[in-house]
Structure 1
Amino acid sequence: MVYNLHERFVAAAPDRVWELLTGLGGDDDRLWPPEAGTFRLPQGLKPGAPVEHASLRYHVGAVEQGRRLWFDTGRQLSGGHGFSLHPRGGGTLIRHELTGRTGGMFRLLWPLVVRRQHNRIIEQLLDNLEREIIRTAPKTGPSV
């Protein structure tokens, strides 16, 4: 059984975080690290839609507006992975969880290679999310 968790608090409302997350895999994806290979949602972000993640193929499992985005990964990992948003004072706790049983070659590759790559990609994605929130935050300053 594999369980992997990443959390990050961001100083933005869940609606703003959700807006950025729903761009994942689209033409204007500002979160996915380009050096991490492809992550595309050719039919958009809706349950059952295909996901192209490097050489892996799986599908969107659940889309709960403003709360949860889940991907069912299929044979390589019997569970899936995804994001959940949790409102906290002054912002949002964003959580990425990966859970399931590994199968086939993935059983060997997860601890040897994939886990480290996955951790790096998710942390870069969360860094990009934070940067986007800061970059697009309304500017406030002294009135003149």
Structure 2
Amino acid sequence: MVYNMHERFIDAQPERVWELLATIGGEEDRLWPEGAGSFRLPEGLGPGAPVEHSTLRYCVGAVEPGRRLWFDTGKQLSGGHGFTLHPQHGGTLVRHELKGRTGGMFRLMWPLIIRRQHDTVIEKVLNNLEREATPRAESPR
């Protein structure tokens, strides 16, 4: 069984965070980091829509605007991964969880290679989300 979690408090309302999160994998994606492989949702963000994540193929599992985005990963990982948004202290706690039973080569590759890469990419996604969602202070002239 694999369980991996990342959290970040974003100083923005859940609606704003969702607005940005809902672009992931699309034409207007400002969250997926450069150099992290590809992450595309060629048919958009809807339950059952295909996900092209580098060489992996899976589907969108659940879309609950303002609350939850979940991906069903199939045979590689029986549970899946995704984001939940939790209103908190005038902002949003964003949690990304990956959980399930591993299968095939994923079972061997997760602890050796994939986990570190995954952790790096998710932290960069959260960095980008924080940068895009947080209002910038005006610079003094």
Does the pair score TM above 0.5? yes
CA RMSD of aligned residues (A): 1.5
Partner of 1:67: 67
Residue 30 (structure 2) pairs with residue 2 (structure 1):
no
User: What TM-score does the superposition give when structure 2 sets the normalisation length?
Assistant: 0.95
Structure 2 regions of 5+ residues with no counterpart? none
State TM-score, norm by structure 1. 0.94
Structure 1 residue 31 and structure 2 residue 70: aligned? Answer: no
Cα deviation, residue 139, structure 1? 5.7
1:129 alignment partner in structure 2: 129
Give secondary structure in 2 for the equivalent of 1:105.
Answer: helix
Give identity over the alignment, percent: 71
> What are structure 1's unaligned runs of at least 5 residues?
none
Q: Which residue of 2 aligns with 1:55?
A: 55
Segments ≥4 residues shifted beyond 6 Å:
none
1-structure distance, mates of 2:47, 2:112: 31
d(CA) in 2 for partners of 1:69, 1:53 = 15
Name the CA distance, whole Å, in 2 between partners of 1:89 and 1:58.
35
In 1, Cα distance between the equivalents of 2:114 and 2:69? 21
Q: Where in structure 2 are the equivalents of 1:98-109 lying within 5 Å?
A: 98-109=98-109
Deviations 1:34-78 (Å, cap 9, x if unpaired)?
211100000000000000000000000000111000000001001
Query: How far apart, in 1, do the equivalents of 2:136 and 2:79 lie?
Result: 39
